[in-house]
A and B are shown apart, each in its own frame.
Chain A
Amino acid sequence: DIQMTQSTSSLSASVGDRVTITCRASQSISTYLNWYQQKPGKAPKLLIYAASNLQSGVPSRFSGSGSGTDFTLTISSLQPEDFAVYYCQQSYNTPYTFGQGTKLEIK
């Protein structure tokens, strides 16, 4: 199985900050990397697919980059509704695997 590692389990930031969340794969996955946002008691929501493609309806302050083994999710200017847990997920092969999540908290 491909292991997905989000090295930062929690991150504190303020409204208006620029935030970067990282994800590393245990082997090269090209750009087969997706990002999800999950709020308490809710299902995950797709933000970014194929490393850098913004899902329809997702605000443009979210962006993704990377290829191979290292990926980043960037929020350009944090809004109050962005405080949540963020997961990366690889679809290079099955079993599809997720990172353990990065919780973005209000400073």
Chain B
Amino acid sequence: QVQLQESGPGLVRPSETLSLTCNVSGGSISTYYWSWIRQPPGKGLEWIGYIYYSGSTNYNPSLKSRVTISVDTSKNQFSLNLSSLTAADTAVYYCARVEDSSAYYYGYYFDYWGQGALVTVSS
């Protein structure tokens, strides 16, 4: 059973950079896409971006100038960096596996999720 676990600081100061890591266990990070999704308190879900195990990325244009997602296949983990933080970036950050079923015309969907990491941006 694939499991994902986010880790990183829970409190970050405004203008600084958020760094989170997602550790993948129970399966290889290879051959899949991996995504970050966030949810501000009491609000809906926002897709941040994804990375393929090979390193290719796709980011949400609304965050693209501030986001970097990277992968370390040797450690079976991937990471999120989000810079120039403001209070609006306060959210629960989820990592998730992206199932690519486009070859079957099923598209892409998030089939495994981490438990989420609350990140608060405050001085």
Contact = CB atoms under 8 A, between A and B. Distances in A.
A99 B44 CA distance: 8
Given A34-B109, A49-B99, A55-B111, 10 more contacts: A32-B107, A44-B113, A49-B106, A49-B107, A49-B109, A87-B44, A96-B47, A98-B44, A99-B44, A101-B44
Interface stretch (B13-21, B57-65, B68-76): B57-65
Given A44-B113, A97-B47, A92 B94 contact: no
Interface string A51-93: 0010100000000000000000000000000000001010110
- Give the secondary structure class of B's interface: strand
A32 B106 CA distance: 6
A11 B60 CA distance: 31
B32 interface: no
Contacts of A91: 107-109
28 contacts: A31-B107, A34-B109, A36-B110, A42-B115, A43-B94, A43-B114, A43-B116, A44-B45, A49-B101, A49-B107, A49-B111, A50-B105, A50-B106, A50-B109, A53-B106, A89-B110, A91-B108, A91-B109, A94-B58, A94-B60, A95-B61, A95-B62, A96-B47, A96-B108, A98-B44, A98-B45, A98-B46, A101-B45
The A interface is mostly helix, strand or loop, or mixed, namely: loop
Nearest to B64: A95
Interface in A16-59: 30-32, 34, 36, 42-46, 49-50, 53, 55
Contacts of A53: 106
A14 interface: no
B101 A50 contact: yes
A56 to B, nearest CB: 9
A46 B110 contact: yes
Interface in B1-31: none
Given A98-B45, A101-B44, A92 B107 contact: yes
Interface in B47-104: 47, 58, 60-62, 94, 96, 99, 101
